[in-house]
Amino acid sequence: MLRPLETLAATEALGAELAAWLAPSRALLLAGPLGAGKTALARAALRSLSADPSLDVPSPSYTLVQSYDTARGPVHHFDLWRIEGPSGLAELGLEAWRADMLIIEWPDRLGPLAPALALTVTLTVNGPESRIAEIVAPPGAPFL
Protein backbone atom coordinates (compact mmCIF):
# COMPACT_ATOMS: atom_id res chain seq x y z
CA MET A 1 0.00 0.00 0.00
CA LEU A 2 1.35 3.45 -0.94
CA ARG A 3 0.46 6.41 1.22
CA PRO A 4 1.38 10.03 0.42
CA LEU A 5 2.59 12.07 3.39
CA GLU A 6 2.45 15.69 2.26
CA THR A 7 3.07 17.22 5.70
CA LEU A 8 4.55 16.42 9.10
CA ALA A 9 0.96 16.20 10.39
CA ALA A 10 0.26 13.43 7.85
CA THR A 11 3.38 11.59 9.02
CA GLU A 12 2.25 11.94 12.63
CA ALA A 13 -1.21 10.61 11.75
CA LEU A 14 0.37 7.56 10.12
CA GLY A 15 2.51 7.11 13.24
CA ALA A 16 -0.66 6.92 15.35
CA GLU A 17 -2.12 4.31 12.99
CA LEU A 18 1.07 2.28 13.18
CA ALA A 19 0.96 2.47 16.98
CA ALA A 20 -2.56 1.02 16.91
CA TRP A 21 -1.21 -1.96 14.90
CA LEU A 22 1.65 -2.61 17.32
CA ALA A 23 1.24 -5.25 20.01
CA PRO A 24 3.59 -7.47 22.00
CA SER A 25 5.79 -9.56 19.67
CA ARG A 26 5.10 -7.20 16.74
CA ALA A 27 7.62 -4.88 15.12
CA LEU A 28 7.60 -1.80 12.93
CA LEU A 29 10.51 -1.78 10.49
CA LEU A 30 11.22 1.75 9.23
CA ALA A 31 13.35 1.97 6.09
CA GLY A 32 14.45 4.82 3.86
CA PRO A 33 17.41 7.13 3.30
CA LEU A 34 18.82 9.62 5.80
CA GLY A 35 16.32 12.43 6.32
CA ALA A 36 13.34 10.48 5.03
CA GLY A 37 11.41 10.83 8.29
CA LYS A 38 11.96 7.48 10.01
CA THR A 39 12.56 9.05 13.42
CA ALA A 40 9.62 11.46 13.01
CA LEU A 41 7.38 8.47 12.26
CA ALA A 42 8.77 6.51 15.23
CA ARG A 43 8.35 9.55 17.49
CA ALA A 44 4.68 9.89 16.49
CA ALA A 45 4.05 6.18 17.12
CA LEU A 46 5.73 6.32 20.53
CA ARG A 47 3.81 9.44 21.54
CA SER A 48 0.58 7.73 20.54
CA LEU A 49 1.48 4.54 22.43
CA SER A 50 2.30 6.54 25.55
CA ALA A 51 -0.75 8.83 25.16
CA ASP A 52 1.68 11.72 25.73
CA PRO A 53 1.91 14.14 22.78
CA SER A 54 4.91 15.89 24.36
CA LEU A 55 6.89 12.73 25.18
CA ASP A 56 10.61 13.36 24.63
CA VAL A 57 11.65 10.86 21.95
CA PRO A 58 15.28 11.41 21.00
CA SER A 59 16.79 9.62 18.04
CA PRO A 60 18.61 6.51 19.25
CA SER A 61 21.33 6.99 16.60
CA TYR A 62 24.09 6.96 19.20
CA THR A 63 22.49 5.06 22.07
CA LEU A 64 21.25 2.48 19.52
CA VAL A 65 18.15 1.70 21.58
CA GLN A 66 15.70 3.67 23.72
CA SER A 67 13.07 1.84 25.79
CA TYR A 68 9.68 3.14 26.86
CA ASP A 69 7.06 1.81 29.25
CA THR A 70 3.55 2.35 27.93
CA ALA A 71 0.10 1.28 29.09
CA ARG A 72 0.17 -1.35 26.33
CA GLY A 73 3.56 -2.72 27.36
CA PRO A 74 7.24 -2.02 26.78
CA VAL A 75 8.43 -0.61 23.45
CA HIS A 76 12.05 -0.60 22.28
CA HIS A 77 13.11 1.88 19.59
CA PHE A 78 16.26 0.79 17.74
CA ASP A 79 18.37 2.77 15.28
CA LEU A 80 20.67 0.30 13.54
CA TRP A 81 22.35 2.81 11.22
CA ARG A 82 25.74 2.32 12.92
CA ILE A 83 25.43 -1.49 13.12
CA GLU A 84 27.56 -3.47 10.68
CA GLY A 85 25.06 -6.28 10.15
CA PRO A 86 23.51 -9.09 12.18
CA SER A 87 26.72 -9.83 14.11
CA GLY A 88 26.63 -6.34 15.64
CA LEU A 89 23.15 -6.97 17.04
CA ALA A 90 24.27 -9.44 19.71
CA GLU A 91 25.40 -6.61 22.00
CA LEU A 92 22.00 -4.92 21.83
CA GLY A 93 20.06 -7.87 23.23
CA LEU A 94 17.46 -7.77 20.48
CA GLU A 95 16.55 -11.41 21.11
CA ALA A 96 15.66 -10.67 24.74
CA TRP A 97 13.15 -8.02 23.68
CA ARG A 98 11.32 -9.89 20.91
CA ALA A 99 8.27 -10.48 23.12
CA ASP A 100 7.86 -6.69 23.48
CA MET A 101 6.87 -4.14 20.84
CA LEU A 102 9.77 -3.07 18.60
CA ILE A 103 10.33 -0.07 16.35
CA ILE A 104 13.45 -0.56 14.25
CA GLU A 105 15.06 2.02 11.98
CA TRP A 106 17.48 0.74 9.30
CA PRO A 107 16.02 -2.81 9.31
CA ASP A 108 18.29 -3.88 6.44
CA ARG A 109 20.96 -4.37 9.13
CA LEU A 110 18.88 -7.18 10.68
CA GLY A 111 19.44 -9.68 7.86
CA PRO A 112 18.03 -13.07 8.92
CA LEU A 113 17.25 -11.70 12.41
CA ALA A 114 14.30 -9.64 11.12
CA PRO A 115 11.17 -10.31 13.21
CA ALA A 116 8.60 -12.47 11.45
CA LEU A 117 5.63 -10.42 12.62
CA ALA A 118 6.76 -7.05 11.29
CA LEU A 119 5.12 -4.26 9.38
CA THR A 120 7.62 -2.66 6.99
CA VAL A 121 7.30 1.03 6.16
CA THR A 122 9.66 2.38 3.51
CA LEU A 123 9.79 6.16 3.27
CA THR A 124 10.77 7.94 0.06
CA VAL A 125 11.46 11.67 -0.12
CA ASN A 126 9.03 13.28 -2.55
CA GLY A 127 9.77 16.97 -1.91
CA PRO A 128 11.06 19.30 0.82
CA GLU A 129 8.40 18.16 3.30
CA SER A 130 6.61 15.49 1.28
CA ARG A 131 7.18 11.76 1.61
CA ILE A 132 5.63 8.59 0.27
CA ALA A 133 5.22 5.65 2.61
CA GLU A 134 5.12 2.13 1.20
CA ILE A 135 3.54 -0.15 3.79
CA VAL A 136 3.95 -3.92 3.61
CA ALA A 137 2.15 -6.05 6.20
CA PRO A 138 3.12 -9.57 7.18
CA PRO A 139 0.83 -12.43 6.15
CA GLY A 140 -1.87 -13.01 8.73
CA ALA A 141 -1.47 -9.60 10.39
CA PRO A 142 -2.82 -7.04 7.91
CA PHE A 143 -2.54 -3.31 8.44
CA LEU A 144 -5.88 -1.58 8.01
Which residue(s) pair with 124 in the sheet?
Answer: 132
Total-model pTM: 0.91
Work out whether the CA dihedral 144, 16, 58, 99 comes out positive or negative.
negative
Are 103 and 28 spatial neighbours (Cβ–Cβ below 8 Å)? yes
User: What confidence tens digit (pLDDT) does each residue in 84-94 have?
Assistant: 766 777 777 77
Phi and psi of 55, rounded to 5°?
-55, 130
- Domain spanning 2-136: which CATH class is it, in words? alpha beta
Residue spans of the domains in the chain: they are 2-136
Instruction: Work out the average pLDDT over 50-61.
Output: 82
Burial of 45 (0-12, 13-18, 19+ CB in 10 A): buried
Output 4 or 90, whichever has higher pLDDT. Answer: 4
Burial of 108 (0-12, 13-18, 19+ CB in 10 A): exposed
**Which of 114, 102, 104, 106 lies closest to 81, judged by CA?**
106
